Every structure is written in C-alpha cells, then in structure tokens.
C-alpha cells in the first residue's frame, strides 16, 4: 500500500510522464504540446530532482535522528560529469523513465546527450572525489561532500591548427537543474585586517578584526546511492556580497563604488584553477581555499552544536577528510574557532583537532607539494599565520625532545620553510596534525614512507596507511557500458555485482567459454562502433572496426609520456612505409587515439599536442598506410567523452616514468571495461598485475628502483637506433614545424629526465606483444574477460570501506524502508 511515509512521488511510467509534462509547462515554462529535446531534458531532470530531494530529506532526517559519527569529505575539486543517467540508474527507475519518454515521442539516450558536464575539477583527484561520493552514498555512510561552486569549471579545450586554446566553460548559462540554492544557509567569511589582543572575562584572547567580509551561500547537490534510499549531499559554496559591510559603504554615500565592490565577492568562486604548479602562491587561489574551508567548518560546527554542547564529543561525531593539501587550512581554522571563539584552552583544542583529520596526498614528488608564502598568508589571514607559528613552535619543541638537536632534520620537518621566500609547507602541517596519512596505491604509500615523508614516518610510523584508489562501477560500467552491464548480469546470474563488485571474479570460470567469448566480442564491437561514429563526426577520419583501438587519454604531462606514445606511432608508421605488400598484410591494423588537456601555461605539453596533430595529419593522409594506421586526437576530453571512449578501447596505455604516477585511476576504468593495459610498473598498475596476472597485460620499462641509476647515466646513455631514427624524422621536418619540435627531440636526446630513450626498446617489445595477442582473437578475448573479472579490487566501494574502517571510524546508517 502506498503510504505518505514512502514519499509523494510514484515511479510508474504514467506518473513519470505526468511529472515530466508538469515540469515542461510550469518549470521550463513551455507548452506541454510543443517542446524540443533540450526542454524535454530540463523537464526530465527536474522530475528526477524531485525524487532526489525527497530522498535526501529522508536521509538527512534519519541521520539527524540517529546522530551517527559523520564524515566530511573536503575537496576543492569534484569532477561529476553528467548527472541524469547516473541518477535514474541509482534510483532504479531508468527503464520506467525510458518508457514514459518513448510514449511522449522522446528517446532517453538522446535527452541524456543534452546535458553538459559539471567539470569542477582537473583530472584524477577530482574524478576520484566523484567516484568516492557515489560509493559513500551507495554504502550508506553518513557522509557529506564539501566543495566550491565555480562559475567556470575546467577550461574547454579548442584545437586550432593543432594548437590548444582555452575557452571558458559556461556550464551554468542554461541553468543547473540538479542544484538547490539554500538562501538561508549562508555564512560570513572574513579576510585581511588585524589581530588585537583583548581581555575577555579576565582572560587574554585574540580578536580578529577583518578588513573584508564575503558571504558564502550553499548550493546542495544530491548524490543518490544505488540500491538504497540513502541520498547524501554535496554542498558547494558560492561567493555573495555581504550585506553587513555593504550597508556601511552605502551609508557613506559612495553608491556606485559600493555596488562595484559587491561584484568582487562573486569573483572568489568564479574560476577553477588548472592543475599547474606555477599558480602556487596566487592570492585568489588562497582566498578560494580559505573561503571554502571557513564556510564548511562553520556549517559542520553548527550541525554539531545543534545536537551537542561539549566539544569533547566532537571527534566522536565528526571525521574530516582532507583531499590533498588544498583544504588543509581547515586544521588551522578549527583551531582558531575552538580557541578564539569557543574559548577552549589551546592544548585541549589541539588534542581535539588531532583526532579529527585524515589526510590523503595525491602527489609523488616534493616539488608537487603546496607552499604558501608567509607574507601572503599573513596579509590575507593574519590570525591563521599566528596559529600556524604556534602549532609549529609546539611541534618543534616536542620534536627536539624526541630527536635531539639534529638541525637538518628539524628544518626539513618544520612547517615553516626558512628559504629566500619564507613559506608554509601545507603538507607538513597536514602530516603533523592528521591522525592518518594515506597514500593512494601501495607503491605510492611506500614512497611516502621512504622518500617524501621519511622523517615523519620514522617519528610516527602508525600514522601511515595505504588506501588504494578505486572507481565506481556504477558510472564506469552500468552508465557508460549498458551492453557489458547486461552481459555481466546474464553470465553471473545476478545484478548483485553492481553493489558487490567482487562477484565479477565469477567470470573467470567462463573465460574460455566459446559462447561468452562470442558475446564478449559483440559487446566490444558495439562500443567500438559508437566510438568510431564519434571519431568520424568529430574529425572526419573513418576508422576500421577490425583495427585495434589503442587509447591514451589523460591530462597531458611529460611524466605521463604521451611523447613516447607518439614516437612509437612514428616508428610504426615508418616500419609500414618500408614494408612490401606481403609484409603489410601481416600488420595488425591500429587506430591510435590520444586525448587530454594541457595546463594553459605548460608549453611542453602544448607542443606534444601539436606534434600529435602534425603526425596525425601525415599518417591519416598517406594512402600507402590506409587502414593499417590512423591517429586521432580527441579534443576536450572530459567525463562524458570518457564514457564513450573507454568502453570502445581494446588497448589502453599508461606510460608514466616509474615512480611518477601516485596511482592512476583511468587504468581501472579501462580494466573494468575489458580493455587490455600496456603499462609501466608504476602506481596502481603494480596492484593490477597482482590481481589479473602479468600474463594478462603488457608491461614494459624501467622499474621504480632502476630509475635513479638510469638517470645518473644521464645524457651520455645511448639513444637506441630506432628511437634516434624517429627523432631524426621529426628533426628533418617530415611532419613539418621543424624548428618548433626541436626542443622536444632535445629533451629525449639530451637529459632524458623521463627516460623515453632508455624505455623505448622495451616499449616497442610490449607493443609487438600486444599486436601478436590481438591477432589471436580467442587469446585476446580471454585476456579481456580476465581483466574485467579481476577489476573488483579497484572499485571505490572497496576504497571507501577501507577509509570508513581504518581512517574515519564511521559506520553505515541506512534509511530503513519501513521508516
Ligand atoms: C595546485 C596549486 C594551485 C592550483 C592547482 C593545484 C592543483 C590542482 C589539482 C594541483 C594538483 C591537482 C590534481 C592532482 C591530481 O589529480 N593528482 C592525481 O590524483 C589521482 C587520484 O589519487 C592519482 O590517481 C594520480 O596519480 C595523481 O596524479
């Protein structure tokens, strides 16, 4: 029986149809007799949103009643992509919607294509946050995500003559049906000003008189779990002018300037910084970080105080997760609130703060760690700088007792770096305060202990943990690869793998089964067709479905070695050109696909993109080569494109110089989709090998421990002939733009920091092994099945359970259907 407690909304196709038409008429304000695809999408999204809102109300009320310990996931970046398909699948009503729409004359898939991506993040770290939110909701954890509502997300990449140009991402221009603005959930955030010592009730205390006030307003985004009514919230903050301050300005009569300065507040959350270390030390970035931290901490403390009066209980009710150092000012902010505003004794406050934070780092090398110039911090956040000095003073005093007067080590471990420009080391601050420090793969966690945080590891070995990354199978199989999803459920005899991905190992026993192999190949073909259609529509290049689709999609970076891929492609091209017809008939045809964005100021990465286009131009127009080799660059690679590219890939490349990729998560998505990996033994690949066996992927290149020695050999080491020949072709202008590409060639033949030249031979061998395996469809298909079957460990469900148990100390809190 339908009771009000089950919610107001019904999910049968007729009810859904009514709801959609209601939203066409009253929300989109178009006639229900005449609306286009985009308007239909908007109405559809609003009807889904209604259902999400109902569930998130129920979830929040339930959490409030149970008052469990909650985790707050603090991240400056969330790469959510599209929400429609993911939401209706997690709500379990995709088919009902499809039916409702088809009766109205619309196709669900077509409307889903109308949605733009929410791209509030750069790459790996940001998409990881999104996958983890999905898992937290699905596993019923009492969790909140906190972030910034950037008005412009990651730049759009436009390629003109092979050169990357950046365009703004106007993602909010057509409205965002998924968010709810909470006009009453606002907090003032203070900046600049001075700190005064005052006597309050006979006690000395520090009072911060700010020079600028900005209001933070909450925008809530529902995150539905799969197979549960639980729907958690991603709360994003936007800057809004503060009325308090403005009243003063208006009263002094400067009406125009007062209005203009109001606009400044909105700038705080206006733009996402691209992942580019040269942006370090920029005031606006620091302002964003504090704005986000201050609003989130006020919100979290307000929620705690609604139900509790004693801060001793704070760590029993609150876990704070720092996604890299970007939100690490939260440590200082909680200290400030407890000491200055709640008037707790410093040591008591520090005791509490040290029980709250769990810190995950996504960087591998020391140069990647965030440092904030003291001058900048002192001017923007004067009280925070004092608190950091005090934290550091106590820490260093304690340290001296533990390790004596080893000044080198003391200065390495200090939170304050006394260099030409005095800076605050945010990673050191985080390690000192957090109760757990997590790496994102086994190798990364080892590197943290032996290199990056060696001194800290020796002091506090118990803090260091490994939380190998994972990705959500809901997005990366169910949403993006419906054919594979159906096949898996059929062969496993259940859909339970969608919540329990370990069940995928059940495929292993059928890996040789001729029927499964047949169906498996059909699924891959369907996905390759979808990708081929996209490639043709985007670039005009027609590709053969019989070719191996070989993909490398990720941010463009020297350490990720897209250049090695391109050199390999030139080598292949050169070989084909030098073959006679009978030799050519034995070549395994390839479609090489490269995609990814370069940070706007990263010249070398931009050159690599240009080289890719120049080589593609030559190869794709060479009739000697035909279908044997094609090269396409996919512009503006993003989450929704990944959903098309990944299922269609036969082979994917993960070429980072060993020791440089903290984890890598793209490989996990490819693995789940039955794509074979060609990879170095770096980051999470090492664990993937443990799960699927070295015989089921193509490994190559120097190992982590071999890298230092190879580097030491340095520029003098021999460039292999094949590599030298490829570089000569580029230098001689075979692909045009001769002068422009010289520096790329120099980098390989000179210092070769990323070891392209020394790994080249072994890279070609791995490529040859991939060709050989592809020529044997049975073997290839078996390897492909075993890849998917072994991908369970790389689900973010496993990662999140690890965090919940080993870092956050939280338990599931599931809304009961009878509630
Ligand atoms: C720093 C300062 C100023 C402006 C921006 C930044 C910034 C922004 C984003 C620095 C770094 C990032 C993103 C880093 C990132 O995505 N790291 C990747 O994290 C993945 C998830 O753990 C890993 O799989 C990858 O190996 C790692 O590179």
- Given 371, 613, 669, 782, the catalytic residue: 669
The alpha carbon of 274 and the centre of ligand 1 are apart by a number of angstroms equal to: 10
Facing residues of 268 across strands? none
The alpha carbon of 189 and the centre of ligand 1 are apart by a number of angstroms equal to: 26
What DSSP letter does each residue of 732-800 carry, written as one string?
TTTTS-HHHHHHHHHHHHTT-TT-HHHHHHHHHHHHHHHHHHHTSHHHHHHHHHHHHHT-GGGBHHHHH
CB neighbours (10 Å) of residue 346? 14
Q: Verify whether residue 782 is a known catalytic residue.
A: no
Residues 467/796, Cβ–Cβ less than 8 Å: no
Q: What domains are there in the chain, each with its CATH number?
A: 67-82+117-468+803-808 (3.40.50.2000), 496-707+721-726+754-787 (3.40.50.2000)
Please choose, from the candidates 48, 164, 57, 168, the residue with its C-alpha nearest in 3D space to the C-alpha of residue 115.
48
Q: Verify whether residue 371 is a known catalytic residue.
A: no
Facing residues of 118 across strands? 81
The alpha carbon of 666 and the centre of ligand 1 are apart by a number of angstroms equal to: 14
- Tell whether ligand 1 has an atom less than 6 A from the beta carbon of residue 280: yes
- Given 474, 560, 590, 660, the catalytic residue: 560
The alpha carbon of 335 and the centre of ligand 1 are apart by a number of angstroms equal to: 27
Q: Verify whether residue 412 is a known catalytic residue.
A: no
Residues 239/219, Cβ–Cβ less than 8 Å: no
pLDDT per position as a tens digit, 460-518: 999 999 999 999 999 999 999 999 999 999 999 999 999 999 999 999 999 999 999 99
CB neighbours (10 Å) of residue 463? 18
3-state secondary structure of 385: helix
Select from 130, 154, 275 the residue to mutate for testing ligand 1; criterion: most ligand atoms less than 8 Å from CB. Answer: 275
Non-local CB neighbours of 800 within 8 Å, separated by 6+ positions: 132, 135, 136, 139, 141, 470
Low-confidence ranges of the chain (pLDDT < 70): 1-6, 244-249, 277-279, 715-717, 818-819
Strands (E) located in 655-731? 676-680, 698-700
Q: Whose CA is nearest to atom 10 of ligand 1?
A: 275
- Given 82, 362, 793, 814, the catalytic residue: 362
- Given 360, 436, 665, 788, the catalytic residue: 665
Q: Verify whether residue 475 is a known catalytic residue.
A: no
Per-residue model confidence (pLDDT) at position 457: 98
Report the run of H or E that residue 165 belongs to, with start and end. Answer: strand 163-167
785 sits in the region (left: phi over 0; alpha: psi -120 to 50; else beta) called: alpha
Per-residue model confidence (pLDDT) at position 118: 98
Per-residue model confidence (pLDDT) at position 2: 43
- Tell whether ligand 1 has an atom less than 6 A from the beta carbon of residue 131: no
The alpha carbon of 325 and the centre of ligand 1 are apart by a number of angstroms equal to: 10
Position in ligand 1 atom list of the atom nearest CA 123: 16
Residue 622 corresponds to which tokens in the numbers above?
Answer: 């060479």
The alpha carbon of 363 and the centre of ligand 1 are apart by a number of angstroms equal to: 7
Position in ligand 1 atom list of the atom nearest CA 128: 21
- Tell whether ligand 1 has an atom less than 6 A from the beta carbon of residue 682: no
Per-residue model confidence (pLDDT) at position 204: 87
382-385 contacts, C-beta under 8 A, 24 or more apart: 382/192, 382/193, 382/194, 382/195, 382/208, 383/195, 383/206, 383/208, 383/336, 383/340, 384/290, 384/329, 384/332, 384/333, 384/336, 385/424
- Given 555, 590, 630, 798, the catalytic residue: 555
Residues 242/216, Cβ–Cβ less than 8 Å: no
Residue 575 corresponds to which tokens in the numbers above?
Answer: 């070989």
Residue 706 corresponds to which tokens in the numbers above?
Answer: 């071999």
pLDDT per position as a tens digit, 318-366: 999 999 999 999 999 999 999 999 999 999 999 999 999 999 999 998 8
Per-residue model confidence (pLDDT) at position 259: 80
- Tell whether ligand 1 has an atom less than 6 A from the beta carbon of residue 445: no
**Radius of gyration of the chain, Cα coordinates, nearest whole angstrom:** 27
Q: What is the pTM of this model?
A: 0.97
Non-local CB neighbours of 235 within 8 Å, separated by 6+ positions: 144, 145, 146, 147, 185, 218, 219, 220, 221, 296, 299
Q: Verify whether residue 262 is a known catalytic residue.
A: no
- What is the C-alpha to C-alpha distance for residues 515 and 521, in angstroms, rounded to an integer? 10
Q: Whose CA is nearest to atom 15 of ligand 1?
A: 125
- Tell whether ligand 1 has an atom less than 6 A from the beta carbon of residue 683: yes
Residue 564 corresponds to which tokens in the numbers above?
Answer: 């090695």
**How far apart are the two ends of the chain, measured CA to CA in Å?**
14
For the chain, give the number of residues: 819
Residue 274 corresponds to which tokens in the numbers above?
Answer: 């691209």
The alpha carbon of 800 and the centre of ligand 1 are apart by a number of angstroms equal to: 19
For the chain, give the mean pLDDT: 96
Q: Whose CA is nearest to atom 7 of ligand 1?
A: 275
Residues 100/17, Cβ–Cβ less than 8 Å: yes
Position in ligand 1 atom list of the atom nearest CA 661: 26
Facing residues of 209 across strands? 194
The alpha carbon of 362 and the centre of ligand 1 are apart by a number of angstroms equal to: 6
- Tell whether ligand 1 has an atom less than 6 A from the beta carbon of residue 122: yes
- Tell whether ligand 1 has an atom less than 6 A from the beta carbon of residue 123: yes
Position in ligand 1 atom list of the atom nearest CA 665: 24
The alpha carbon of 182 and the centre of ligand 1 are apart by a number of angstroms equal to: 30
Select from 277, 362, 597, 598 the residue to mutate for testing ligand 1; criterion: most ligand atoms less than 8 Å from CB. Answer: 362
Supply φ then ψ for residue 615, to 5 degrees.
Answer: -70, -40
Q: Verify whether residue 362 is a known catalytic residue.
A: yes
Residues 224/55, Cβ–Cβ less than 8 Å: yes
């Amino acid at each position: 029986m339908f009771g009000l407690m089950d919610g107001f909304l019904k999910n049968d196709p007729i009810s859904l149809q009514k709801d959609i038409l209601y939203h066409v008429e009253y929300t989109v304000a178009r006639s229900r007799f005449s609306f286009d695809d985009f308007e239909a999408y908007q109405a559809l999204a609003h009807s889904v949103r209604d259902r999400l809102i109902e569930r998130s109300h129920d979830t929040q009320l339930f959490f409030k009643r149970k008052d469990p310990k909650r985790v707050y996931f603090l991240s400056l970046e969330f790469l959510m992509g599209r929400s429609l398909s993911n939401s209706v699948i997690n709500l379990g009503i995709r088919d009902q919607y499809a039916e409702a729409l088809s009766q109205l004359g619309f196709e669900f898939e077509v409307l889903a294509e109308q949605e733009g991506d929410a791209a509030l993040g750069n790459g790996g770290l940001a998409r990881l946050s999104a996958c983890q939110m999905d898992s937290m909701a699905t596993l019923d954890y009492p969790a909140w995500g906190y972030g910034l509502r950037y008005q412009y997300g990651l730049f759009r990449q436009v390629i003109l003559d092979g050169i990357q140009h950046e365009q703004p991402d106007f993602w909010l221009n057509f409205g965002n049906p998924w968010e709810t603005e909470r006009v009453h959930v606002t907090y003032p955030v203070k900046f600049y000003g001075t700190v005064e010592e005052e006597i309050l009730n006979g006690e000395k205390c520090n009072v911060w008189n700010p020079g600028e006030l900005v209001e933070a307003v909450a925008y809530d985004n529902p995150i539905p779990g799969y197979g549960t009514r639980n729907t958690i919230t991603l709360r994003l903050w936007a800057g809004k002018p503060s009325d308090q301050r403005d009243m003063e300005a208006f009263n002094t009569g400067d009406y125009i300037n007062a209005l203009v300065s109001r606009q400044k507040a909105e700038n705080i959350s206006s733009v996402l910084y691209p992942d580019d270390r040269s942006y370090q030390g920029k005031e606006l970035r620091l302002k964003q970080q504090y704005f986000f931290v201050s609003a989130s901490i006020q919100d979290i403390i307000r929620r705690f105080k609604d139900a509790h009066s004693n801060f001793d209980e704070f760590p029993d009710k609150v876990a704070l997760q720092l996604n890299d150092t970007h939100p690490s000012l939260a440590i200082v902010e909680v200290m400030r609130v407890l000491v200055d505003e709640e008037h707790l004794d410093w040591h008591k406050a520090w005791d509490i703060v040290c029980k709250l934070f769990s810190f995950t780092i996504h960087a591998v090398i020391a140069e990647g760690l965030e440092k904030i110039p003291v001058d900048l911090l002192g001017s923007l956040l004067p009280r925070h700088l004092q608190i950091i000095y005090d934290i550091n003073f106590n820490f260093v005093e304690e340290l001296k007792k533990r390790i004596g007067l080893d000044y080198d080590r003391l200065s390495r471990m200090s939170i304050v770096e006394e260099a030409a420009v005095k800076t605050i080391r945010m990673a050191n601050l985080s390690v000192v305060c957090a109760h757990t420090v997590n790496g994102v793969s086994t190798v990364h966690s080892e590197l943290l202990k032996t290199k990056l945080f060696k001194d800290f590891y020796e002091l506090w070995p118990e803090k260091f943990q490994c939380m190998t990354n994972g990705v959500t199978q809901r997005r990366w199989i169910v949403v993006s690869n419906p054919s594979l999803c159906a096949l898996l459920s059929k062969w496993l005899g259940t859909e339970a793998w969608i919540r329990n991905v370990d069940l995928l190992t059940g495929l292993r026993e059928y890996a040789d089964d001729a029927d499964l192999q047949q169906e498996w190949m059909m699924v891959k073909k369907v996905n390759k067709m979808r990708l081929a259609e996209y490639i043709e529509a985007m670039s005009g290049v027609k590709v053969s479905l019989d070719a191996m689709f070989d993909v490398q999609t990720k941010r463009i970076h020297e350490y990720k070695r897209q250049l090695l891929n391109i050199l390999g492609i030139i080598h292949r091209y050169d070989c084909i050109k030098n073959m006679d017809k009978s030799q050519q008939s034995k070549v395994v045809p390839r479609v090489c696909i490269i995609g990814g964005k370069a940070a706007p100021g990263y010249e070398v990465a931009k050159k690599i993109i240009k080289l890719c286009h120049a080589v593609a131009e030559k190869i794709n127009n060479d009739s000697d080569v035909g279908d044997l080799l094609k090269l396409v660059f996919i512009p503006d690679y993003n989450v929704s494109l990944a959903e098309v590219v990944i299922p269609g890939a036969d082979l994917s490349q993960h070429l980072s110089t060993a020791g440089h990729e903290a984890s890598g998560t793209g490989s996990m998505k490819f693995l789940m989709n039955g794509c074979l990996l060609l990879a170095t033994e770096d980051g999470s690949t090492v664990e993937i090998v443990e799960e699927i066996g070295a015989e089921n992927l193509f490994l190559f290149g120097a190992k982590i421990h071999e890298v230092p020695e190879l580097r030491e050999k340095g520029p003098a080491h021999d460039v292999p002939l094949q590599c030298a020949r490829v570089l000569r072709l580029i230098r001689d202008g075979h692909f045009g733009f001769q002068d422009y590409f010289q520096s790329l060639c120099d980098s390989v033949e000179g210092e070769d920091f990323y070891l392209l030249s020394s790994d080249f031979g072994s890279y070609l061998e791995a490529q040859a092994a991939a060709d050989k395996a592809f020529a044997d469809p049975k073997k290839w298909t078996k390897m492909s099945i075993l890849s998917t079957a072994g991908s369970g460990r790389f689900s973010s469900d496993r990662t999140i359970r690890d965090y919940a148990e080993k870092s956050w100390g939280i338990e599931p809190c599931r809304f009961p259907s009878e509630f």
